[in-house]
């Protein structure tokens, strides 16, 4: 997608997401920095920080699990290439450990699509499956929100027994909620 479309979608996503009651009351949000053609997340990350929210960002570990670090603005990001995978923007500061995500009030998830059941289709690396499992094992119950383009909300995506539904999807045109199980 052209850069101006990605930026416009990111601005619209930030506006919609910032209106979520879950984010209004959040003290800690686990998020991510969009890459490639994903809807832009930097406007949202900066707006959350301006509200005084602690924003955690992932750092990919060699086994595809995620460590976490704090976002302190665009200058706190490092572009990191992991083997043959695409380059990611990760926090350059102190690593807080994989369990840091369990302190989040809201977890913003990337994805390729989400369906009418709230099932999210990821990129297949299993990183966020591990995060969701870690949250469950810790008894943490953050709001799970996926950020997508309107066209990525579909009738059905493949799901396996370990997959967990999200609670909401935010797109440039609105918010769709799913029942919490």
Is 174 annotated for ligand binding? no
Is 177 annotated for ligand binding? no
Is 123 annotated for ligand binding? yes
- Provide the token pair at 54: 């602690």
Is 124 annotated for ligand binding? yes
Is 120 annotated for ligand binding? yes
- In Å, how far from its chain's centre is CA 109? 3
Is 121 annotated for ligand binding? yes
Phi, psi of 62 (to 5 degrees): -55, -30
Q: 137 to each of 129, 131, 141, how far by Cα in Å? A: 12, 10, 10
Is 144 annotated for ligand binding? no
Is 7 annotated for ligand binding? no
Is 135 annotated for ligand binding? no
Is 125 annotated for ligand binding? yes
Phi, psi of 139 (to 5 degrees): 75, 15
Is 169 annotated for ligand binding? no
Known binding residues for ATP are 120-128
Known binding residues are 33, 38, 120-128
Known binding residues for substrate are 33, 38
């Amino acid at each position: 997608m052209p850069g101006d479309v990605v930026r416009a979608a990111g601005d619209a996503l930030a506006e919609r997401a910032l209106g979520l009651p879950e984010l209004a009351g959040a003290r800690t949000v686990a998020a991510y920095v969009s890459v490639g053609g994903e809807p832009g997340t930097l406007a949202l990350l900066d707006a959350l920080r301006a509200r005084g929210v602690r924003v955690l960002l992932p750092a990919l570990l060699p086994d595809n699990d995620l460590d976490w670090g704090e976002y302190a603005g665009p200058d706190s990001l490092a572009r990191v290439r992991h083997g043959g995978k695409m380059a990611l923007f990760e926090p350059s500061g102190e690593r807080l450990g994989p369990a840091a995500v369990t302190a989040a009030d809201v977890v913003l998830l990337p994805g390729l699509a989400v369906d009418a059941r709230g099932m999210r289709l990821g990129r297949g690396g299993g990183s966020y499956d591990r995060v969701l499992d870690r949250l469950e094992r810790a008894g943490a119950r953050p709001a799970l929100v996926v950020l997508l383009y309107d066209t990525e909300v579909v009738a059905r995506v493949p799901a396996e027994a370990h997959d967990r539904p999200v609670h909401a999807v935010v797109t440039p045109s609105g918010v769709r909620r799913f029942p919490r199980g």
